[in-house]
Amino acid sequence: MTGLVHRGLAGQVVEMLREQILTGVLPPGSRLNEVEIARDLGISRGPLREAIGQLVSEGLLVHVPNKGAAVFAARPDDVAALFELRSALECAAARMAAHRRRPQEVTRLRKVCERSRKAREAGRKLLYDLDLDFHRSLMDAAHSPRIAEQVWLVQQQVIVLRSGLTSRTSHTETSLADHEAMAEAVADGDADLAASLMEAHLALVETELLQNMQATQAMQSEVRGGETQGPAARGTRRTGRTAP
In a 10 Å sphere around its CB, with 0-12 CB exposed, 13-18 middle and 19+ buried, how is residue 16 labelled?
Answer: middle
Assign 3-class secondary structure to 54-92: HHHHHCCEEEECCCEEEECCCCHHHHHHHHHHHHHHHHH
Q: What share of the chain is helix, strand, coil (3-state, %, to 5)?
A: 75, 5, 25
Successive 10-residue mean pLDDT values, the chain, 244 residues: 57 93 90 94 93 94 91 87 95 98 97 92 76 93 96 89 64 84 98 98 90 79 65 42 33
Can you tell me the distance from the alpha carbon of 128 to that of 82, in angstroms, rounded to the nearest whole number?
A: 17
Can you tell me the distance from the alpha carbon of 14 to that of 19, in angstroms, rounded to the nearest whole number?
A: 9
pTM score over 0.85: no
Can you tell me the distance from the alpha carbon of 48 to that of 40, in angstroms, rounded to the nearest whole number?
A: 11
Q: What is the pLDDT of residue 166?
A: 56
Q: What is the pLDDT of residue 3?
A: 43
Q: What is the pLDDT of residue 243?
A: 35
